[in-house]
Amino acid sequence: MFSRDTLSYDPIPLPDRCEISDADMQDAAVAFFEKMRRRHTVRDFSTRPVARDVIETCLRTAGTAPSGANHQPWHFAAVSDPKLKLRIREEAEEEERRFYAGGAGDEWIKALEPIGTNAVKEHLTVAPWLIVVFAQRWGQFEDGTRYKNYYVPESVNIATGFLLAALHHAGLSTLTHTPNPMRFLTDALGRPASEKPTMIIAVGHPSETATVPSVAKLKKPLEEISSFF
């Protein structure tokens, strides 16, 4: 996509301009808030399948995110193969056992207590899809030479946020999971050394008996998360 000499500055009239009245804007803002505040991270998934098409469209949404120099330094590996999900689960649980057995330290374990997590990661085999997010620390031209990427964590995290919103909008539940370290994902998914795994997102439908920790409903009020000048 990026070939050193072919891209140049070429402004075009703003496409897809959004014409909206002030009143409709209020309604739109509220409607989206109402939608997003009903997104809950779920740990108990059902095995109900999710069509690949839906996952693909949500990944297209993620791919619309803004990024440093428009380099789009992300890769999403979508896994539905049960054998591969099992391998990922086994390797993630190995890391998590170390984490919960002391690697995390007391303060971290105490912070997680109200969330109710432990080293068993059933969702990694039960959820129909795992999307593994990779950040491309550098890119490569077709001739193999490297180019720099910019604001990689910021760009990838924005795209990941778009993806979570898109999946929720499609009626799916998600769980963001970050085993530490995550190197094993590079090998399991055959990704190049230039890419760093940042997250596993389990995607699917919640089980009939899914719960959320009550603390998940405690969101900081606007006054605390914002200031206006």
Residues that bind ligand IYR (CB under 6 A): 96, 99, 112, 115, 117, 177-180
Residue 64 C-alpha from the chain's centroid: 14
Looking at beta carbons only, is 74 or 99 nearer to ligand IYR? Answer: 99
Q: Are 127 and 175 in contact (CB under 8 A)?
A: yes
Kindly tell me which of 100 and 151 has the beta carbon lying closer to ligand IYR.
Answer: 100
How many C-beta neighbours within 10 Å does residue 51 have?
Answer: 9
CB of 69 to ligand IYR, least distance (A): 30
Q: At its nearest, how many Å lie between ligand IYR and the CB of residue 167?
A: 18
Nearer to ligand IYR, 119 or 158 (CB): 119
CB closer to ligand IYR out of 58 and 202 = 202
Give least dist CB 32 to ligand IYR, A.
Answer: 25
Residue 118 CB, nearest approach to ligand IYR (Å): 7
The closest residue (CB) to ligand IYR is 117
Minimum distance from residue 8 beta carbon to ligand IYR (Å): 43
- Give the residue with the Cβ less far from ligand IYR, 24 or 113: 113
**140 versus 180: smaller Cβ distance to ligand IYR:** 180
Question: φ and ψ at 92, to 5 degrees?
Answer: -65, -40
- Shortest gap between Cβ of 213 and ligand IYR (angstroms)? 10
